[in-house]
Structure 1
Amino acid sequence: MSVAKPPSDLAKVWDLPKAVCPVGSIGHRWDPYDQHAMYKVLGEARQSEPVFYSPELDYWVVTRYDDVMSILRNPSVFSAANANTPVAPVPQEALSILDEGGYALEGIQVNCDPPRHDRIRTHVSQAMGMKRLMALEPHIVRNVELGIKNLQGKNRVDILKDFIYEFPARVIFSLLDIPESDAAQVKAWAMDRALMSFTHSSKNKQIDGARNLVEFWNYCVKHVQKKMLNPGDDYVSDLLAVRDGDDDKLTLNEINSAAFGLLFAGHETTTNQSTHLLNALLSGDGLWQQLVDEPSLIPLAVEEGLRMYGAVANWRRRAVEDVTIGGMDIPAGSGIVISFAAANRDPEMFEDPDEFRLDRKNVRKHLTFGNGLHFCMGAPLARLEMKLLFQTMTREFPNMKLAADEEIDFVRAFGFRAPKSLWVDLQG
């Protein structure tokens, strides 16, 4: 008997209640895609209008730490089902391309609610345990050293493009047993998926993105099929072993979706986060030299970078009933942006929140990896990757400096802070 293919996760349209942005509200001047002004405007909101309506996104934006935490901790009232829903409707032409191409990605983790979420996470965690993640350390070190070798003899480089861009992807490829030669193509596919969910793209770009997503999806499906025939020591093989032919544990399409999800999100955020941290350290007065002199401070620097310059700036939830947040009444069905960027700089939680400090005792209370049911399963791996990356860079390039007169530009997306380049002088 044939099983109906689930509808594309990009086709979901929510019936949102009407909302009006009050005159004088910060919502009128908040540009959710302006990464340069983001912290300033959200900081003003956190102080004077901690929950505001954004007509640009048609979402309510929550900025204070305690309010964001309460949402993360209450999945029965705040659904995660809209976490990856496109902010603009996807045209029918693009949806037809996805449907005809067999694209069948399911929401299984970040955009999935209990009880389904609990079932999937329970079984997926067996394949994503600390033992497997920590076993990647030699591979991480090898990739860092290879990247450093490719930089030898150079001075001014775009270190994002020439080093950091593909490094985390190659780590994930080791976890999935995928050829490293496919790194550039997978990174391009992942960016298409991010742009379709987190920015207003033109119709033509969405159609092109749909074609690329079909290729990406089918690449993942074929990889799962290959592992069914020839299992190995890797994440997908472990998921198949956990499933053991039992759809009540995991279906094959859920494993396809898990492979796709890891290839999509398992490296992009680490690429962006590493670039933000390097920029912060080279911009700060003496911060890079502190790490050169005291490498033991690197794990603290990683956490402070996650707090101050989190690659995941804003995330989403949907109110399933009428709620009051920060004194604002919000009707059932409303979309909600939980702003990690704002919450991570809340002075009620973090002293001197706009200062990069290596002695911050409560730094790991940041929310960049989320909290509660949806806390990022890949957080230990991301932390390990960045620690090893910066241990090597501070040792090999102690005099590194930002290139003069170079400014960072960002991909136009409201959920992620994705820099386009970072030019440095390796030898100072």
Structure 2
Amino acid sequence: MWRVTNLCCNKRLLIMRCWQMREARSHKSVCLVTGGFDARHLRLQPWRYLSEVANQLRRQGHQVTVITDGGTGETAVSDPNLHRIPSVSNPQWQKNWQLTQTIAAVQPDVVLWHIGLTSFLHQRLDPGLDVPVVGIFTSPLYEKADLARIGVRRLVVERQLSGIHTVGTLLPKRLLRQMASQNERLEQLVVQTHTTSYQLQKSQLSSLPISVIAPGVDEVWKNGRSTHNTQLRQKLGYGQSDMVVLYFGSPAPLRGLHTLIKAVQRVGTAVPALKLLILSRRHADELMAEDASLRHLLNEQTMQGRSQIISGYLAPENLVDHIAAADIVALPFELVPSDAPLSLLEAKALGKPVVTTQIACLPELVADGSHYLAQPANEVSLANSLTEAVLALRANNQIKQPSVRGWQQVGVEWSQLIQTM
């Protein structure tokens, strides 16, 4: 009897050890290489997506190390698994030995390399790197017509936002293809939208397999779905009959806010109840000129009593409350800085009708919710879309309630990909 019991125990122990060994093999050591990974950027795309990829992979049991540059002092991210070096750039004309040595010290099973369109021009993976590399491609792809619509003068003035996209769009695609083909260790690309995947394939910039792993939203957005936050509406001075259009994001002109103000002026003549609430999300020491220009526009006679602005970053719960207090969310980008702006997904998660523009991935992001599309940088088209949204709400048309995924699902899909490498 004792022998039988002992054999059963040994068998169970052997099964447990085999399971543990299998689990250990499926959990990878992952190295994420990205520039600018500091605290001021983590609210913004693409760093928000990259930080969530790292965090969610850790929750799936993988060991993740981040290698980045910059972010010293109070902007530094506190993370024991983060290595900060002077530069993560590895141009063909100057080998970055410190980057190579740092990756080697991590001994990763997989390297995730954050790249954009111009990265093909100057980033070269070390041919001696003997582990698979996945490129996380986060650049929207534009046509020359998209830039022409904005105009040379505005592109120059707003070069901090438009510069890298202008260079990437004007570079000969043949040159980019040639440079991309030299990264032999790059085995796969991951993008956040099907739009970008299609554009990469159409332009033939890369022959690599492309996976789409879309971003998610925080639980606070999924749990905060509400038609109105009546108490906050009253505190903000809005009546029950007011039609509140809300913008939240940077006051940079290429985000479309100045065009939105002009569109609201147009619609407001026919819809006196139309109001504009602006949540200008910026740090106190940045975009000051843009904020001042914005306030000057809002002081015009046609906007007085129709608009108000709240500057700075609100706490997540407070931000959700303000958006829930609005009727319509307007995010009329004229140029998308990075693929998959989360603000559209967040507004959609609250069940709000979204007015946005027909550029880059934006139509895809709002496709399964109530949405209205305008031509970018076109106040007449934007005014028409706003009018359409207002009329639909007044007619009590049923608002679509789309399903929006959380970050945990993003981690599951990334883990599945990592385990195939």
Task: Kindly name which structure, 1 or 2, has the bigger radius of gyration based on alpha carbons.
Answer: 2
Do the structures match in fold with TM over 0.5?
no
Higher helix residue share: 1
Higher strand residue share: 2
Higher relative contact order (CA 8 A, sep 6+): 1
TM range, smaller chain: under 0.3
Given the two structures, how large is their TM-score scaled by the length of structure 1? 0.25
